[in-house]
C-alpha cells in the first residue's frame, strides 16, 4: 500500500580485490620474508617478547592476506592473538577471513566447515568482549 513503509532491499556485494602488479607482489613477498626472519630471531633470542612477536605475526598475516595466501594469513593472525589479544587490524582481517571461509563452506554445502568457522567467529567475539572489558 505505502511503498515508503517497506524495507528497501539492499544488495551486498563482495568488495573487489585489486590485482597486484608483479612489483607489488615482489615487495610483499620481501616484507613477508623479513617478518618471518624477525619472528625467528625474536623467538630464538627471547620468546618472552610477547608484544613484539604479536605485532610481527600480525604484520606477517596482513601481508599474507594481501598476497591471497589466506590459510597462511589465518595461521599468522591466530598466532598473533595467541601472544597478545588485541582488536586491531589483524583482528579485523582475521574475522573477515573467517567469514570468507564460512561463506565458501556454505557455497560448497560443507556443514562442518560452516560450523568450524562460525565457532571461530564466536571465539573472536569473545576476544573483543574480553579486550573491551579489561582494556
Other CB atoms within 10 Å distance of the CB of residue 13: 6
Q: Is the pTM of this model over 0.75?
A: yes
pLDDT tens string 27-43: 999 999 999 999 999 98
Confidence of residue 46 (pLDDT cuts 50, 70, 90): confident
pLDDT tens string 50-91: 899 999 999 999 999 999 999 999 999 999 999 999 999 999
pLDDT at 8 over 50: no
pLDDT at 6 over 80: no
Domain boundaries, the chain: 21-134
Note the pLDDT of residue 135: 63
DSSP string over 47-98? TT-HHHHHHHHHHHHHHHHHTT-HHHHHHHHHHHHHH----SHHHHHHHHHH
3-state secondary structure of 14: coil
- Please tell me the CATH code under which domain 21-134 is placed: 1.25.40.10
Q: How far apart are CA 68 and CA 75, in angstroms?
A: 13
Q: Which of 40, 35, 37, 103 is nearest to 73 (CA)?
A: 35
Q: Helices (H) and strands (E) in the chain — how many of each?
A: 5, 0
pLDDT tens string 13-22: 344 456 889 9
Amino acid at each position: 500500500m505505502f511503498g515508503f513503509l517497506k524495507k528497501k532491499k539492499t544488495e551486498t556485494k563482495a568488495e573487489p580485490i585489486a590485482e597486484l602488479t608483479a612489483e607489488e607482489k615482489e615487495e610483499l613477498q620481501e616484507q613477508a620474508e623479513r617478518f618471518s626472519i624477525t619472528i625467528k630471531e625474536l623467538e630464538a633470542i627471547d620468546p618472552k617478547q610477547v608484544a613484539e612477536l604479536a605485532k610481527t605475526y600480525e604484520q606477517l598475516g596482513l601481508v599474507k592476506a594481501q598476497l591471497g595466501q589466506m590459510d597462511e594469513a589465518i595461521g599468522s593472525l591466530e598466532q598473533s592473538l595467541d601472544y597478545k589479544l588485541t582488536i586491531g587490524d589483524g583482528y579485523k582481517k582475521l574475522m573477515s577471513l573467517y567469514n570468507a571461509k564460512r561463506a565458501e563452506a556454505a557455497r560448497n554445502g560443507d556443514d562442518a566447515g560452516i560450523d568450524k568457522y562460525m565457532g571461530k567467529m564466536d571465539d573472536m567475539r569473545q576476544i573483543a568482549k574480553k579486550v573491551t572489558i579489561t582494556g
